[in-house]
Amino acid sequence: MNTRPRIRTALMATTLVLGISAGPALAASPAPAPGRAAADRTAGTLDTAALRAAIAGAGKPGADATAALVRIGGTDGSWLGSAGVHDLASGTPADPDARFRAGSVTKVFTAAMVLQLAGEGRVDLNRPARAYLPDLIPAAYSTVTVRQLLNHTSGIPSVGSPDDSLEYLYAHRFESSHPADVVRAATGQKRDFPPGTMQHYDNIGYTVAGLLIERVTGDTYAHQLATRILRPLHLTNTYVPGADPAVRGPHNHGYQVFTKPDGSTELRDVTVWGAGDTFAAGDLISTTADLERFTRALFTGQVVRGPQLKEMFTLPGASVRDMKTGKPAAYSAGLSTMRLGGHDVWGKTGGRWGYNSVIAATVSPTGALSRTLVYSVNSTDAKGSDMNPTAMHVMIAAFGAPDRA
């Protein structure tokens, strides 16, 4: 019997969910030479053939991705792979060390900084966010706690665009909104649900969290990020672009499928695209090497420690359900979880136009990191309703198929 449709449906339902004071920096893994479709370092128990196959189609005519960069580490073995092209015009091989838009992986960094402030006694996760931002959070949202911002149970609604069509968004791709204005627009609406009773994944909680970081520290979000995480871990290729719509330094181009008036499709280069209203929820630019180092440091307690680290692996109570699906809540503070290949996988996905990314890991019973995964997939439909097939195949090759409910 053909089980692929079932696997695809299950993985889309779970992987879109994945949709830490700092210790010594960890050494970066060597990158494969440019032009190699894939490079094995240590085979371990990894299915390297499946990993190579997962990215082999990137960059080919009609493919769902123009480039794919993958890093796997942990006690089970390590592997590096790259495939696809730097850009469609030149057709040169994808740069395995390229920078890319990390999208909502940014939320993990933001959550880590809030939790660091909690560990320093400067933020109380149980205290209302309004206590820190009284001029921004109205009385209607006075009971929303800091923890609820981080685990998407605040009930603050989304802020929509006047037109969600791709053509409209593309035409307005260089426009941006101040985070405070975004929060005012969101909190000016009726709440989605009473705080803490349901879960709704969105950017708004992390927009508030970013502003909270700035208010408590009296510093910018970008400088706090550099001071607290980027410099201590030597993440030299990770930064917040701010108003700059370009990706600075070496990067592979991102493309998006557009439908033309006659019904045919075309790929447009969407590499240069402004931050919009993503701010602390999705503005980060990074590399697979930097994100791998961050993932290892995060999961081993080098960024957030003790009870604050536990927050990142604690889901809301069993009674809290997803607002849209009715399924049990799957998001913690910064991370989310799924069952793949018989293991609990914790991590976070990200999506910006032209780019999909992930950080994910499994932990052995001894506490060791058994497997870590970081990828950047230059998806041609990075914000589609379904998971990008190349990214899906990488996830299955790395961790196994989704467990049946």
pLDDT digits (tens, 9 = 90+) for 312-351: 999 999 999 999 999 999 999 999 999 999 999 999 999 9
275: pLDDT strictly greater than 70? yes
More confident residue, 11 or 368: 368
In DSSP terms, 357 is beta-bridged to 350, 376
Rg of the chain on CA atoms, in Å: 20
pLDDT digits (tens, 9 = 90+) for 150-208: 999 999 999 878 888 899 999 999 999 999 999 999 999 999 999 999 999 999 999 99
pLDDT digits (tens, 9 = 90+) for 57-99: 999 999 999 999 999 999 989 999 999 999 999 999 999 999 9
What integer is the mean pLDDT of 277-299? 97
Q: How confident is the model at residue 44 (pLDDT cuts 50, 70, 90)?
A: low
pLDDT digits (tens, 9 = 90+) for 119-156: 999 999 999 999 999 999 999 999 999 999 999 999 99
Nearest alpha carbon to residue 85 among 63, 61, 64, 58: 58
17: pLDDT strictly greater than 80? no
Nearest alpha carbon to residue 280 among 180, 375, 161: 180
Angle at 392 between CA 374 and CA 361, to 5 degrees: 35
Q: What is the pTM of this model?
A: 0.90
Q: Which residues contact 371 (CB under 8 A, 6 or more apart)?
A: 72, 73, 74, 75, 76, 361, 362, 398, 399
Q: Which CATH number fits domain 4-399: 3.40.710.10, 3.90.1150.10, 3.40.50.2300, 3.20.20.105?
A: 3.40.710.10
Nearest alpha carbon to residue 141 among 153, 124, 151: 153
Q: How confident is the model at residue 384 (pLDDT cuts 50, 70, 90)?
A: confident
What integer is the mean pLDDT of 215-221? 98
Q: What is the DSSP string of 253-286?
A: PPEEEEE-TTS-EEEEE--S---TT-HHHH--EE
